[in-house]
Structure 1
Amino acid sequence: MQGSELQFQYFPPSVANSTKINETSEYGQGHDGYYQPDAVLDVCYPLLDILDFFHLYYIPVIILIGLVGNFLSCVVFLNTHLKMRSSSYYLAALASADFGFLAALLLVWLNNNVGIEVFNREGWCQALVYVSSVCSSLSAWLIVAFTVERFIAVQYPLHRPHMCTVARAKAIVIALCVVGLLSHIYSFWTAGILRSPDGSGVCEMLGEYHEFMRIVNIVDSLVTLIVPLVLIIVMNTMITRNLLRFGRRFKQDQVTSERASQERSDFNLEQLHTSSSNNNNSRRQPSQQSFHSSKSNNSRQQPSRATNPAVERTVSIHCIHVRSPGKNLMSTRTQQSITKMLLLISTVFILLNLPSYVIRLYIFVFFSLWYQTTPPSLWCMQQFFMLLYYTNFSINFLLYSMCGITFRRCLAQLLRKTLKSLSRYHCRIQRYF
């Protein structure tokens, strides 16, 4: 396995230019924290075959799964009744961002393993670096956005109806996209094709922007790494704590309401029994009176039997106490289900990104800030952690399918509707011919 096969396209954009093997770049000689290829190959030689296997087979599998899954997720969230939820727009945007990153990664993989020269061409190089940078940044901040929404819904439930709206979700998604597109536009100037003595070109960071990219990496590490990670961990901790508290209170309130409902139903039954007994007694009196008095009594008693205020009031009260908790219970369970699903997504995001993030932070704090050469052993560790990093972009659809009952139902309905449309279209074509 050649060192040139493991270039910066297999790293997050923010650390791509400080953790790579590059046999052709003028900065590939251990200058200012860059790895020396020979040293890296010596240290990582026992693991190169394993890395080669994963890069050759595992990466295309997760790319294909992620492309199909993210496409289906986006369609389900925007074309079913799930679009009535504000969280669906965050998840649809997240699926689109993950799809864009995986599409760029697919072109890079085809360039390195199949021989389709796309990534190492002028124009394509800058575009793919730009797309991967924007999509990876958006992926992190979209997770922060819906985590904030869930935090508001759990911590301040009375403010949820007017704060966690579809219009607000759309505005936030558009704002994040605009900021992401504008903040990474420097990629079109800092990335380019570097020519080796044999004439082959490699997409790399241009040497004249080395110091500029060092500053960009510092800012990028803070904005797309440290801040989102801290926010997600803090809010997830508070959401989990509130969910546990709410679960205990909900069980206690449910037990109390069941007892009160049972006592109320017993009381209503007794009152109904008393009212019916009084009515029976009043119906027996006419047999001891004259026909005229009986007729007058019946004329006065029949309206009371038809519309007894006490009975009607007790029945209506009983219905109110039975029906309204059911609606509240359904709404509460729906919100709990949404919160648990989004909490799972953000937690998986942290678990799959944390190993790579720890390496990036370590390099950032102890080497990049002090212009120190990064040990080659960290490159080997980062290569394995990057496999988890890429998995994060393709796993959300599996999480929705396994843990989201509503998502599965909407997906099944959408697939059945699509199959029916295709079958009708096929029948029309056969009739035409």
Structure 2
Amino acid sequence: MSLGAILEYHGDANFTQEFQFPLYGNNGTDHLVEIAHAISLYLIPTICFLGIVGNVCSFFVFTLSTFRFLPCSLYLAALAVSDTGFLAALFMAWLTSLMPWVAMAPGLCLTMVYITYVCSFLSAWYVVLMMVERFVVVCHPLKAPRYVTKRRSRMAVGFVTAFALILYLHSFLSTYVNVTVYGPSCSAREQYMKFNAIFTYIDSLVTFVVPFTAIVVLNIRIILTVRNFRLKHHPLHMYCMHQSEPGVLTQAQVRSTKMLVLVSSIFVVLYLPSHAIRMYLLVRVLVRNDHWMYDHTTVLAQQICQFPYFINFAVDFLVYSITSKNFRKNGVKLFRRLCDDD
């Protein structure tokens, strides 16, 4: 869920409210509020710092090492860029929650909303594109040489990126810096409330429902295909896995498939809590028509569920390092080469 989406379905809520937990609990929620506030204060900058460093390292590995010759490397490099953009905007939003006057910087609030919208969309769809390519390679290997090419990858990334950049331009018109007695905040313009409410459903559809469904379906098909291939070719398993003829999976393809399936699966798991509660709130608004009237516990749960979502943008480097020997080897080689150049 993008920070822009948070702003919209909370109506005139403070842009930084997801980092500013309620000061008062009720019944047994006081301790949860304190814990959530402490997590927000210390975990957010840690996620941002480690995530940005990891994403930058991943980008260099996918663009400067032998990984760059693989078609999927373009999607992985693009994913590292979009995740870095989201974390940078997240850090600025966290900083704004501590120092509200920072929000007065010209264009800062609008830019943060726009970047989080765009990067949230792109991160989801880069994963979808990556798994579509892997689906073709694994499930339709005879068609792979035709459809899985660098040129097609660049076209797909370019189209999705251009679409996202255009789709969320409205955020520059629908948000503004609202100065109150509590300090400046980035809020939704009142005249755009109806548009924001409708667009929130559209955003939920294109950043969660469709990508989530596509990734789950593609992963299941890929896993079943690899499993069936191994069962059918078990006597010749080691021989077939090393062949490079069209229509035969190679050992390298299976290894890279494992890594990509794991990356996309972790993406789905970490996305689910935040978007599930978001969908619950949106459905409640649609069915009950109780606009923006959320109880204390629900809002607290929504804020806590943001943390797995934020971690999703920072965890890929760790996943690559654990699951891919080739990634580790190329990363070490690249690091040594850079050190030797210095």
Decide which of 340, 359, 382 is 2:277's aligned counterpart: 359
C-alpha separation in 2, matches of 1:51 and 1:120: 27
1:409 to 318, 321, 329: 329
Give the SS at the match of 2:289: coil
Q: Normalising by structure 1, report the TM-score.
A: 0.72
Do the aligned partners of residues 325 and 60 (structure 1) sit closer, same or farther apart at CA in structure 2, a change above 3 Å counting? closer
The answer as to 2:70 corresponding to 1:95 is: no
Of 249, 252, 255, the residue aligned with 2:232 is 249
Amino acid at match of 1:148: V
Name the structure 1 match of 2:244: 328
C-alpha contact 2:118 2:168 (8 A) present in aligned 1: yes
The answer on whether the counterparts of 2:48 and 2:314 sit within 8 Å (CA) in structure 1 is: yes
Amino acid at match of 2:153: A
Partner Cα separation in structure 1 for residue 272 and residue 15 of structure 2: 31
Letter of the structure 1 residue corresponding to residue 190 of structure 2: G
Structure 1's 82 and 349: CA in aligned 2 closer, same or farther, altered over 3 A? same
Whole-angstrom CA distance in 2 between matches of 1:244 and 1:213:
45
Whole-angstrom CA distance in 2 between matches of 1:38 and 1:227: 33
1:17 to 8, 22, 26: 8
1:190 and 1:410 map into 2 onto residues whose CA distance is: 45
The alignment partner of 1:119 has SS state of: helix
Q: Which amino acid aligns with 2:200?
A: N
Alignment of 1:28-107 (within 5 A): 41-42=25-26, 44-107=29-92
- Change in Cα spacing, 1:380 to 1:177, as seen in structure 2 (3 Å) is same
Does 1:340 find its partner at 2:262? no
Cross-structure match for 2:212: 229
Deviation at 1:344, TM superposition (A): 0.4
The reply to whether residue 386 of structure 1 matches residue 302 of structure 2 is: no
Pairing 1:138–2:122 present: yes
CA distance in 2, matches of 1:38, 1:55: 12
Contact 2:100 2:185 in 1 (8 A): no
Residue 120 of structure 1 and its aligned partner are, at CA, apart by 4.4
Q: Greater helix percent: which structure?
A: 1
Q: In the aligned structure 1, how far is the partner of 2:103 from the partner of 2:224?
A: 46
2:222 aligned partner, one-letter code: I
* Alpha-carbon distance, 1:328 to partner: 3.5
What SS class does the counterpart of residue 158 from structure 1 fall into?
coil
With over 3 angstroms needed to count, the CA separation of the structure-2 counterparts of 1:327 and 1:418, relative to structure 1, is: same
Normalising by structure 2, report the TM-score.
Answer: 0.90
> How far does residue 393 in structure 1 lie from its aligned partner after superposition?
0.2
Closer, same or farther: CA 20–213 of 1 in aligned 2, 3 Å: closer
Whole-Å separation in 2 of the counterparts to 1:188 and 1:46: 38
Question: Aligned equivalents of 2:251 and 2:315: distance in 1?
Answer: 25
Please give the secondary structure, in 2, of the residue aligned with 1:64: helix
**Letter aligned with residue 341 of structure 2:** S
Partner Cα distance (1:84, 1:23) in 2: 45
Q: Does structure 2 conserve the Cα–Cα contact (< 8 Å) formed by 1:191 and 1:204?
A: yes
Contact 2:59 / 2:77 at 8 angstroms: preserved in 1? yes
Partners of 1:121 and 1:193 within 8 A in 2: no
Change (3 A) 1:98 1:90: same
Distance between the aligned counterparts of 2:94 and 2:5, measured in 1?
Answer: 19
Could you report, residue by residue, the CA deviation over 1:34-84 in whole angstroms, capped at 9, with x for unpaired residues? xxx989844743312101111111111111111001011111101111111
CA distance in 1, matches of 2:111, 2:262: 32
**2:202 matched residue in structure 1:** 219
- Displacement after TM superposition at 1:224 (Å): 1.2
Stretches of structure 2 that go unaligned for 5 or more consecutive residues are none
CA contact (8 A) 2:15 2:186 kept: no
Query: Alpha-carbon deviation of 1:182?
Result: 0.4
Matched letter for residue 400 of structure 1: Y
Q: 1:196 aligns with which of 145, 167, 180?
A: 180
Task: Tell me, yes or no, if the aligned pair for 1:70 and 1:397 is still in contact at 8 Å.
Answer: yes
> Is this contact kept in 2: 1:356–1:382, CA < 8 A?
yes
Question: Is the Cα contact below 8 Å between 1:87 and 1:146 reproduced in 2?
Answer: yes
Q: What is the distance in 2 between the residues matched to 1:67 and 1:201? A: 27
2 CA distance for matches of 1:83 and 1:144? 19
Q: Which residue of 2 aligns with 1:398?
A: 318
Secondary structure of 2:187's counterpart equals strand
Mapped partners of 1:41, 1:369: distance in 2: 27
Structure 1 position 129 matched with structure 2 position 117: no
The structure whose Rg is larger is: 1
